[in-house]
Structure 1
Amino acid sequence: MDLEGERPAVLHDALESLERASRTPAKQRASKVSAVVDAICRHAFDKGLDEDSLRTVVQIASRKTELDQTSVTTLVKNLYPAQRVPADVVVTVVSGLGQGKGKPSPGSQNGLVKWLTIVHEIIDDPNVLPRLYGVLFGMLDMISIRTSLCHLLSLITRRKHVKPFRIQQLLELSRSLGNEPALQGLLRIYKDYYPDIILGSTSTSRNSFPPLPDPEWRTRLLVIQQRSVAANEDGTQQHNGFKVLRKGPKRGRISAIPDVHTYHTNETSVTLEGIDNVEDFVEKLDRIEPPGQLISFLTDPLLQKYVDLKSSPITSRRIELWLSTCLEEQYEAVKAGTPDPLYLSEILSGLLRHAQYTKSLSPVVQAFLKEYLLVWDGLQDIDAILGLLSCIQIQPFQDAYASYLSAAERAVTGQHPECYDQLLRFYTDLLRQWMNQASPQPRRPGPATATPDQRALHDLASHVSSLSTSLLLSLPFSSGGSNITSSILTFYELLSTSSAPYRIPIVLPPMSLIYTLALSPSATTLSRVCGMIGAYKTAFNKHPGPIRHFYPQEIVDAINCCLRDIYNLLWISRALVASKDAEGKDKASGVFCDPALREALNTYLGDIDREYAIQTAFGLSNNPMLAASSAAVWRQLEAVEIDARGYDRSSINWHKGPVSQRSLDVLRRNGGVDVDWELYRVHVLQWLEERGCAGLKEFMFASSDALKKKYGA
């Protein structure tokens, strides 16, 4: 039985049973309601409740019924929505709050308010709770739900909700109840909007702020909504970017970056705290009063938009003064050996978010990095530091290296080998940033590195080539070398596929680096290397001609030599063969293998088996990284051919492997299948492509126009 297919029907029946039980006294029921509740809760925990199911359970839990308190509490604790919460469900919950004959018990009401507090950010209509603000506020006199209600109101309060009569009611409640934490927390929110009206201090504690959702409940909700086919969002509490971000309790430490607060306002003031959506923001942009501390833009998306759209010399100066003072204090603290890591981490994370948003660094941050990198340990805030460095503007590489990169390299390379991988990923991000900023040269034949920007890109790539070669030769593949290899290939994949005539030059890695990577013990690495070489070949093919007017002849000779070497390895059984043209120039380098070494290897292989030879050892059938895949392709191809021809499987001569052109000829003459050697190899390329190793096929089709024309899609 397909249990998954039966679950909706089972849930539907359980909900119908629950509705009947909610109207039937316990003594008159034919079966126990606990089994029905357990079935619903199991489904809710496993898959979540769709809109109709959630609506049904909430309607039952939001009114007085014949169900016992334990059952209702269990249902409320398992209200996992599979999608976003419909607005009418929220209205149903709020309508069930308060005092009255048909209302649920105080415990059920408290559970429902807590549920609203948890799911308030995934409600389908974000304005439904603000519209019900007056109704919720009017229930603050209920002792049983006051704490949870204060927490909910603290999350949804905006300036438009802060009215004089509500301020008066809160103050009267505060005086009559004393220092009730949740009420003081709500009063603190009100005071943030009107500090001149609410005088005196409001004492706050950890219990003053809305508690964080139960981690297990929150994790389960995330899993459910990720699995939901109908849900397009992941169920996490996403901030919409057009509402002031409130971080809530600081959990015992002072935040380096304050929340957004606009002081000295009146009833006619337009503040960021009163903005709820993008239409509101656009309409009121010119009338918004700036908040007290503009530095909050580092963490608040709405203030960041406001600062960028309404920039002014005064705004820039205020931000620069705060940043320069703060960063200088942190730098001096690090020098003195008394840093505050958490404080500095928060500042750097905020600066990184802003730099990623604007794709640039302010002069204050650049000046700080120049000095801080000299005392940086290479570990603390490494992601933030390298992220900020990747945003520096394109400039002569030597200048950038002297100012920033040299110190960063010294700090990072003095740590664990894993940090080398981060350094290479940083250079990839920096390359992408500089490519985006590179300005074009005039559209006429000329050296491809004629402009300062193109020279900067060339020098950056050359530096990474030296660094990559050094790392590959220093670290064994088994001790972090695989990650470094992947990061090196990522850099060159970006470089090989991003060249643009007159703007981004074609910069080749050293041939020795390509060959070292190609001979790594990994089929994935070999595929990526081949794909990279194929991309370089395609870039040269698409470049305006004649190529010699843009690139020196040695660069063209180098890529042609590399193409022949890899082609010889994989396709035509001439591995490690060096050759020269009529002018004495290298036509193929033999992967820089010394002829004497090649001969010794050939002799060694021949002694093992007379069928073995060095020239075929790197082909698709014999390559140690590809042999298993090639064998699988042949078995599949041979079986298809036998079935297509109607051969008798028990009497036909099966190929023993490995497959070669000679072995296929022998097989055909001795009663086996007739398969073309080239066709078999193309099938291997296609099979590898289907399994994520498309680079070999890309290389072969880029290297051979005839092959691409014959088999290309």
Structure 2
Amino acid sequence: MPSFADAAERPTSVHDSVAALQKASTTPPKQRAVKVSGVVDAICRHAFDKGLDQDALRAVVQIAARKTELDQTSVTTLLKNLYPSQRVPADVVVTVVGGLGQGKGKPSPSTQNGLVKWLAMVREIIEDPTVLSRMYRVLFGMLDMISIRTSLCHLLSLITRRKHVQPFRIQQLLELSRGLGNEPALQGLLRVYRDYYPDIILGSTATSRHSFPPRPDPEWQTRIRAVQETNTAANESILEQHNGFRVLRKGPKRSKISAIPDVHTFHANETSVTLEEIDNVEDFVEKLDRLEPPGQLISFLTDPLLQKYVALKPAAIATSRINLWLSTCLEEEFNSARTGQPTSAFLSEILEGLNRQTQYSKTLLPLVSTFLKEYLLFWDGLSDVDAIFGLLCYLPLQPFEDAHGTYLGHAEKVVVARNPRAYEKIVQFYTGLLRQWMNQASPYWSPGQGQRHPALTSGDQRHLNDLVTHVANMSMSLVLSVPPGSGSSLISSILSFYELASSSKLKSVPIMLPPMHLTYLLVQDTSTTTLSRICGVIGNYKIAFDKHPKPIKSYYPLEMTNEFNWCLRDIYQLIWVSRAFNVTENKSVGLYCDPLLRDALNTYLSSIDREYAIGVTFVLSNNPWLASLSAAAWRVLEEDEIQNQGLDRDYVNWHKGPVSQLSLAALGKNRGVAVEWDRYKVHVLMYLAARGFGGIKDLMFATSIDLKKVLNKS
């Protein structure tokens, strides 16, 4: 018998393979022209790599959900590789449920069991989340089937809600339990029922690790995550998406070693409404006032739904319960750290939970700030760095000296002592802290105010300025300490800090400039990205000054505005007008290049070639970090102009480069394209911006208003 790979009618797509499988499923093995194993391999290979679209998935499920001529090995292989590339349609779920049970046309018990397990694994990515709920009575009616009872109990445990817990079902479960003994999966389902009606279902339900639905197979979960991310272009896997309006279940394996319990309402009755039965936002809003709090409110550290409940329905007793749990637990951990003993394995989980809760509420619990104040004195600087820095980001706005003396100084010192390269993480932390303080600060000016106050010396703005000054001093030291070309990630963190500080449109945030020395160091860094980003930062500050209430001198000292103007002129002359390192009294400092050094460099360059000069060394065409991009931009412009001006490509005089004002003038007179110097430079700016280097364009357009006119002409 020929193999599938050698068949003359070899399918060219997954749909061809599915069609071949459909034909093979109705053809007895001895009458087939090709081996079915080849068809199955082709489908599974495609499903593993790219997933099955809805049509292919629907067709394969229809084959698996009925009795066919396919062998059991082929069907089992198909079920194990049934990776959907999109959300699972509701009709596919109905087809699967329709294939369960006893009957002449039903698939084998092994296949049925595989179908139920597949439903449990894909239930979070079903298009219509209610379809399984509507099929509940059909699924429950199949509990007498031994072959699928375990998987069916696991599936029912996942989809059971209060409306499904009816007296006749309780009675049937109790009868099955008495007849079968302590069957783990059945006892797990009975425990779910008991959570809803503890007063009706009396006695204990014996549970074990087999009582709860197992976690998806790690290999299967990893593969479906990759398939879904590829096809949906999502940042997170659909399997892990959670709408925040359903109780989060972590599974039995994690809950056994977790300090933070799952959400369970232990004292519910027939009239109460519990968080466990909430499925969507409408349900939550409608029943908010009638919800019963769970047995352990500390679960709000990890459960998004309980977080919303605690935030929207505050109560003194709830706060007291949470604080009592936290104070007891954190005090034990602090005592261990203070006496030199190792903290428990649960501290990391608690701190991560507190970090998530704080990110949600945007408020640091007073109990947590008190704990951090003492714990940081004994912290090792290695464990839970991200969680601790995440919590410290939400310190309330206060004098920076107080915050640094109480919290931040200790954290900086111990982290750097353990890891000298941790400054990048520290700068990232200060970026997060600055973001929170900016949101908390009160405005220092309003459109209708009469009396004006200096921005950097009043109220909350002084605290913000002290924070930025601290990071500026740290950044200067770090940039000078890092060998050229080796601190890209650190420099990126510093730039991110100033991008945040410079781009705020809040009236509460004053203009806080980086030191000129730091700016000039970054302008001369050996990275095109760094040059673009620091230019973007300076451009943001220029726009901020332009939009600020006038007169500026009423808010900012003259020395500050003068230095900023010098900085603008220096960068403008460096990149745009061929006057690099020019020093003009009270106008520019030439990037602090000594005039004698500039003259020496200029003399040296002139001795090499009379057209060389220090002033043109850093313009767009010659700049070491922009020259190749500028050349590519010119080629694009030259090609367009040859076509627009109707020139003959075979006889045109092509520019040899690098482009300069004189070379463009000569080119237009000597069988070349005619392009104005300013138009070329604007074209280069737009070309750079289209490739992720928009900071240079932003600065030049903010500095020179004439460039927009040039852009409109082109």
Match of 1:3 in 2: none
Residue 486 of structure 1 deviates from its aligned partner by 0.9
Residue deviations 1:654-680, cap 9 Å, x none?
A: 433322223334445555444322222
Match of 1:458 in 2: 465
Q: Check if 1:19 corresponds to 2:26.
A: no
**How has the CA–CA distance of structure 1 residues 235 and 7 changed in structure 2, closer, same or farther, with 3 Å as cutoff?**
farther
Tell me, in whole angstroms, the C-alpha distance in 1 between the residues paired with 2:269 and 2:685: 72
> Is the 1:571–1:619 contact (alpha carbons within 8 Å) kept by the matching residues of 2?
yes
Tell me, in whole angstroms, the C-alpha distance in 2 between the residues paired with 1:87 and 1:670: 71
> Is the 1:702–1:708 contact (alpha carbons within 8 Å) kept by the matching residues of 2?
no
Residue 650 of structure 1 deviates from its aligned partner by 5.7
Q: Kindly provide the amino acid, as one letter, of the partner of residue 89 in structure 1.
A: V
Q: Kindly provide the amino acid, as one letter, of the partner of residue 476 in structure 1.
A: P
Tell me, in whole angstroms, the C-alpha distance in 2 between the residues paired with 1:357 and 1:8: 52
Tell me, in whole angstroms, the C-alpha distance in 2 between the residues paired with 1:379 and 1:712: 56
Secondary structure, aligned partner of 1:207: coil
Identify the match of residue 556 of structure 2 among 533, 548, 551: 551
**How has the CA–CA distance of structure 1 residues 144 and 337 changed in structure 2, closer, same or farther, with 3 Å as cutoff?**
farther
Q: Kindly provide the amino acid, as one letter, of the partner of residue 453 in structure 1.
A: D
Residue 468 of structure 1 deviates from its aligned partner by 0.9
Residue deviations 1:116-157, cap 9 Å, x none?
A: 110011112222223333332332332221222222122223
Q: Kindly provide the amino acid, as one letter, of the partner of residue 97 in structure 1.
A: L
Match of 1:695 in 2: 695
Q: CA RMSD in A?
A: 2.7
State which drifts further: 191-200 or 516-525: 191-200
Return 5+ residue gaps in structure 2 as ranges. Answer: 1-8
Q: Kindly provide the amino acid, as one letter, of the partner of residue 240 in structure 1.
A: N
Secondary structure, aligned partner of 2:239: coil
Tell me, in whole angstroms, the C-alpha distance in 1 between the residues paired with 2:236 and 2:613: 57
Tell me, in whole angstroms, the C-alpha distance in 1 between the residues paired with 2:712 and 2:589: 29
Match of 1:704 in 2: 704
> Is the 1:206–1:251 contact (alpha carbons within 8 Å) kept by the matching residues of 2?
no
> Is the 2:255–2:261 contact (alpha carbons within 8 Å) kept by the matching residues of 1?
no
Q: Check if 1:236 corresponds to 2:239.
A: yes
Match of 1:593 in 2: 593
Tell me, in whole angstroms, the C-alpha distance in 2 between the residues paired with 1:259 and 1:252: 7
Match of 1:146 in 2: 149
> Is the 1:84–1:231 contact (alpha carbons within 8 Å) kept by the matching residues of 2?
no
Q: Any residues of structure 2 matched to 1:630-709 within 5 Å, and which?
A: 630-645=630-645, 647=647, 653-668=653-668, 672-709=672-709
Residue 372 of structure 1 deviates from its aligned partner by 1.4
Identify the match of residue 97 of structure 1 among 97, 100, 114: 100
Secondary structure, aligned partner of 2:618: coil
**How has the CA–CA distance of structure 1 residues 15 and 194 changed in structure 2, closer, same or farther, with 3 Å as cutoff?**
same
Match of 1:574 in 2: 579
Secondary structure, aligned partner of 1:620: coil
Residue 597 of structure 1 deviates from its aligned partner by 2.0
> Is the 1:530–1:695 contact (alpha carbons within 8 Å) kept by the matching residues of 2?
yes
Match of 2:521 in 1: 516
Q: Kindly provide the amino acid, as one letter, of the partner of residue 298 in structure 1.
A: L
Tell me, in whole angstroms, the C-alpha distance in 2 between the residues paired with 1:511 and 1:354: 40
State which drifts further: 131-140 or 541-550: 131-140
Tell me, in whole angstroms, the C-alpha distance in 1 between the residues paired with 2:89 and 2:148: 23
**How has the CA–CA distance of structure 1 residues 242 and 638 changed in structure 2, closer, same or farther, with 3 Å as cutoff?**
closer
> Is the 2:191–2:205 contact (alpha carbons within 8 Å) kept by the matching residues of 1?
yes
State which drifts further: 616-625 or 87-96: 87-96
Identify the match of residue 506 of structure 1 among 511, 527, 538: 511
Tell me, in whole angstroms, the C-alpha distance in 2 between the residues paired with 1:690 and 1:530: 16
Q: Would you say how many aligned residue pairs link Structure 1 and Structure 2?
A: 701
Residue deviations 1:634-658, cap 9 Å, x none?
A: 3333444445545565665443332
Identify the match of residue 467 of structure 1 among 468, 474, 478: 474
Tell me, in whole angstroms, the C-alpha distance in 2 between the residues paired with 1:607 and 1:270: 88
**How has the CA–CA distance of structure 1 residues 675 and 294 changed in structure 2, closer, same or farther, with 3 Å as cutoff?**
same
Q: Any residues of structure 2 matched to 1:206-355 within 5 Å, and which?
A: 206-228=209-231, 234-251=237-254, 253-340=256-343, 342-355=345-358
State which drifts further: 34-43 or 422-431: 34-43
Identify the match of residue 68 of structure 2 among 55, 65, 76: 65
> Is the 2:199–2:269 contact (alpha carbons within 8 Å) kept by the matching residues of 1?
no
> Is the 1:664–1:674 contact (alpha carbons within 8 Å) kept by the matching residues of 2?
yes
Tell me, in whole angstroms, the C-alpha distance in 1 between the residues paired with 2:565 and 2:64: 75
> Is the 2:195–2:268 contact (alpha carbons within 8 Å) kept by the matching residues of 1?
no
Q: Kindly provide the amino acid, as one letter, of the partner of residue 272 in structure 2.
A: S
Residue 271 of structure 1 deviates from its aligned partner by 1.3
Tell me, in whole angstroms, the C-alpha distance in 2 between the residues paired with 1:685 and 1:66: 67
Match of 2:629 in 1: 629
Residue deviations 1:222-252, cap 9 Å, x none?
A: 3333343699994324222222111112359
Tell me, in whole angstroms, the C-alpha distance in 2 between the residues paired with 1:412 and 1:231: 34
> Is the 1:446–1:549 contact (alpha carbons within 8 Å) kept by the matching residues of 2?
yes
Secondary structure, aligned partner of 1:361: coil
Tell me, in whole angstroms, the C-alpha distance in 2 between the residues paired with 1:664 and 1:161: 80
Secondary structure, aligned partner of 1:406: helix
Tell me, in whole angstroms, the C-alpha distance in 2 between the residues paired with 1:67 and 1:650: 67
Tell me, in whole angstroms, the C-alpha distance in 1 between the residues paired with 2:344 and 2:667: 71
Match of 1:490 in 2: 496
Identify the match of residue 387 of structure 2 among 362, 377, 384: 384
Tell me, in whole angstroms, the C-alpha distance in 1 between the residues paired with 2:380 and 2:705: 53
**How has the CA–CA distance of structure 1 residues 456 and 232 changed in structure 2, closer, same or farther, with 3 Å as cutoff?**
closer
Task: Please list every run of at least 4 consecutive aligned residues from structure 1 whose deviation after the TM superposition is greater than 6 angstroms.
Answer: 6-9, 229-233
Residue deviations 1:514-547, cap 9 Å, x none?
A: 1011110011111111111111111111111111
Match of 2:3 in 1: none
Q: Kindly provide the amino acid, as one letter, of the partner of residue 465 in structure 1.
A: A
Q: Kindly provide the amino acid, as one letter, of the partner of residue 421 in structure 1.
A: E
> Is the 1:378–1:412 contact (alpha carbons within 8 Å) kept by the matching residues of 2?
yes
Q: Check if 1:560 corresponds to 2:579.
A: no
Q: With the length of structure 1 as denominator, give the TM-score of the two structures.
A: 0.92
Match of 1:583 in 2: none
Return 5+ residue gaps in structure 1 as ranges. Answer: 1-5, 581-585
> Is the 2:333–2:344 contact (alpha carbons within 8 Å) kept by the matching residues of 1?
no
> Is the 1:642–1:673 contact (alpha carbons within 8 Å) kept by the matching residues of 2?
yes
Identify the match of residue 527 of structure 1 among 532, 535, 555: 532
Q: Kindly provide the amino acid, as one letter, of the partner of residue 660 in structure 1.
A: S
Match of 1:394 in 2: 397
Q: Kindly provide the amino acid, as one letter, of the partner of residue 702 in structure 2.
A: A
State which drifts further: 25-34 or 110-119: 25-34
Secondary structure, aligned partner of 1:334: helix
Tell me, in whole angstroms, the C-alpha distance in 2 between the residues paired with 1:710 and 1:478: 36
Residue deviations 1:190-225, cap 9 Å, x none?
A: 444455655565454433332222233223323333
Residue 692 of structure 1 deviates from its aligned partner by 0.7
Tell me, in whole angstroms, the C-alpha distance in 2 between the residues paired with 1:345 and 1:232: 25
Q: Kindly provide the amino acid, as one letter, of the partner of residue 550 in structure 1.
A: Y
Q: Kindly provide the amino acid, as one letter, of the partner of residue 107 in structure 1.
A: S
Residue 113 of structure 1 deviates from its aligned partner by 0.8
Secondary structure, aligned partner of 1:449: helix
Residue 611 of structure 1 deviates from its aligned partner by 2.7
Tell me, in whole angstroms, the C-alpha distance in 1 between the residues paired with 2:646 and 2:278: 75
Q: Check if 1:131 corresponds to 2:134.
A: yes
**How has the CA–CA distance of structure 1 residues 240 and 637 changed in structure 2, closer, same or farther, with 3 Å as cutoff?**
closer
Tell me, in whole angstroms, the C-alpha distance in 2 between the residues paired with 1:316 and 1:259: 18
Match of 2:428 in 1: 425
Q: Kindly provide the amino acid, as one letter, of the partner of residue 706 in structure 2.
A: A
Residue deviations 1:288-320, cap 9 Å, x none?
A: 111111111111111111111111111111111
Tell me, in whole angstroms, the C-alpha distance in 2 between the residues paired with 1:670 and 1:24: 78
**How has the CA–CA distance of structure 1 residues 363 and 624 changed in structure 2, closer, same or farther, with 3 Å as cutoff?**
same
> Is the 2:330–2:371 contact (alpha carbons within 8 Å) kept by the matching residues of 1?
yes
Q: Kindly provide the amino acid, as one letter, of the partner of residue 532 in structure 1.
A: V
Q: Kindly provide the amino acid, as one letter, of the partner of residue 546 in structure 1.
A: P
